[in-house]
Structure 1
Amino acid sequence: MQSENLISPGFADPVFQSQAAFRALLTALSEPGLIQQVAPGFAAPEGLEPATAIALLTLADYETPIWLPAALRDGPAGAWLRFHCGAALVEEPAQASFAVIDGAAEAPLLADFNPGTDQFPDRSTTVLVQCAGLAGGDIVTLSGPGIAGSRDIAPIGLRPGFWAEFSANAELYPLGVDLILSQGEAVLGLPRSTQIVEVR
């Protein structure tokens, strides 16, 4: 692990920044497909998008295990999360309350994470998907709670078959994982209740 003086800082103003980030993340998940700015000017550790880092800093603590790809878990990002959140970093995706994946990587699949149980659907994994951009890709039309009619999104940098995985996850509702796509300082929420109407 890095020594403390090599770990980048967390919140400069913990109360204000965490409250603002929490509101933005809540809005992202309650209004699926609308891009929200969550991390203006935030300095993230290597391997984490600023929006990913601030989301974890806001949502995770010592009681919420996190899964990271090995390269991140064993590098500056893992050290940063251990230091600022006191979080346990787990090796198995299904053990995680929160997870970070590269949207273009072949693994892990969304189905590898914890979908919750009939008794406790809220104990599923929230997966932060780091992608190349939240606009400019193939158009995906969404429907579901929080969407009036339908809504189009167009993220880029997602692996082939990603949207098929997302549709399979939605079929598990009320079980399934919730997704937060992140790039730069922005996020886009895709809760398990959201369905795909069309990809074009």
Structure 2
Amino acid sequence: MQADVLTGGFADAPVEAARAFRAALDAMARPGRITQVSGAEAPGLSTAAAVLLLTLCDRETPLYLAPGCDSEALKGWIAFHTGAPLVPAEEAMVALGAWDALQPLGRYRIGSAEYPDRSVTLIVECADLRADGMRLTGPGIETSARVSLPEVAAFERNNLLFPLGWDCFFTSSDKLAALPRTTKVEAL
């Protein structure tokens, strides 16, 4: 096994995993708020994406790696650190990649009326993540928030599916932000 496969996980797993889980929950509860995270490094990924993989994935979490994120080094790192099975997009509970590589979005699980929670969570790797751009409103946002998003239309369509739909984390460097399906997105 290569050394980079064995390294990059949480050094103090119970403490760092708890912090990472709390950061992910806080981000989802406060859409658009950019949070810094640390503690994980995976081959070819941002720190924030690596932290989310360690937090959200385990042996029972089907994971899809979009083109550009499906390197052998990353697959080895995931197998060693999480054991998450790699699956096609249609079977994934978590999908990772750049926005364009994750397309088309219609192939992902959106849950069902009985089980709306059985939908995919997208981890979208971004070149940059800023508190400007699209206007966000909805649960968890006092008045409005702003965050740089790759587009508006897909999020508008997703919001109309509520209680079904997918949820997103956006990652760049050591920063992450979340956008649950309940959030309304408007271009300014």
Is 1:109 the counterpart of 2:97? The answer is no
Q: Which amino acid aligns with 1:12?
A: A
Report the TM-score when normalising by structure 2: 0.92
Report the TM-score when normalising by structure 1: 0.87
Q: In the TM superposition, what whole-angstrom CA distance separates every residue of 1:127-184 from its partner, at most 9, and x where no partner exists?
A: 00011111176x21111100112112235xx3xxx32111111110000000000001
Number of residues of Structure 1 aligned to a counterpart in Structure 2: 187
Is 1:135 the counterpart of 2:127? The answer is no
Structure 1 residue runs of 4 or more that deviate by more than 4 Å after TM superposition: none
User: For the residues of structure 2 that align with 1:62 and 1:43, how far apart are their CA atoms?
Assistant: 18
User: For the residues of structure 1 that align with 2:162 and 2:72, how far apart are their CA atoms?
Assistant: 35
User: For the residues of structure 1 that align with 2:78 and 2:35, how far apart are their CA atoms?
Assistant: 23
Q: In the TM superposition, what whole-angstrom CA distance separates every residue of 1:70-101 from its partner, at most 9, and x where no partner exists?
A: 443342111101111011001x2120111102
User: For the residues of structure 2 that align with 1:150 and 1:17, how far apart are their CA atoms?
Assistant: 31
Change in Cα spacing, 1:141 to 1:95, as seen in structure 2 (3 Å) is same
Is 1:118 the counterpart of 2:105? The answer is no
Change in Cα spacing, 1:106 to 1:20, as seen in structure 2 (3 Å) is closer
Say which of 144, 163, 169 aligns to 1:150.
144
Residue 117 of structure 2 aligns to a residue whose secondary structure is helix
Change in Cα spacing, 1:43 to 1:58, as seen in structure 2 (3 Å) is closer
Give RMSD over aligned pairs: 1.7
Matches for 1:18-37 after TM superposition, within 5 Å: 18-37=17-36
The question of whether the paired residues in 1 share the 8 Å contact of 2:93 and 2:119 is answered with yes
Match of 1:95? 91
Match of 2:3? 5
User: For the residues of structure 2 that align with 1:150 and 1:136, how far apart are their CA atoms?
Assistant: 11
Q: Which amino acid aligns with 1:17?
A: E
Change in Cα spacing, 1:15 to 1:66, as seen in structure 2 (3 Å) is same
User: For the residues of structure 1 that align with 2:73 and 2:89, how far apart are their CA atoms?
Assistant: 20
Is 1:199 the counterpart of 2:178? The answer is no
Q: Give the gaps of 5 or more residues in structure 2.
A: none
Change in Cα spacing, 1:9 to 1:152, as seen in structure 2 (3 Å) is closer
1:106 positional shift = 5.2
User: For the residues of structure 2 that align with 1:144 and 1:136, how far apart are their CA atoms?
Assistant: 16
Say which of 145, 148, 153 aligns to 1:164.
153
User: For the residues of structure 2 that align with 1:195 and 1:6, how far apart are their CA atoms?
Assistant: 40
Q: Which amino acid aligns with 1:53?
A: A
Say which of 159, 162, 179 aligns to 1:190.
179
Residue 32 of structure 2 aligns to a residue whose secondary structure is coil
The question of whether the paired residues in 2 share the 8 Å contact of 1:126 and 1:179 is answered with yes
Change in Cα spacing, 1:56 to 1:70, as seen in structure 2 (3 Å) is same
User: For the residues of structure 1 that align with 2:33 and 2:65, how far apart are their CA atoms?
Assistant: 26
User: For the residues of structure 2 that align with 1:113 and 1:10, how far apart are their CA atoms?
Assistant: 28
Residue 73 of structure 1 aligns to a residue whose secondary structure is coil
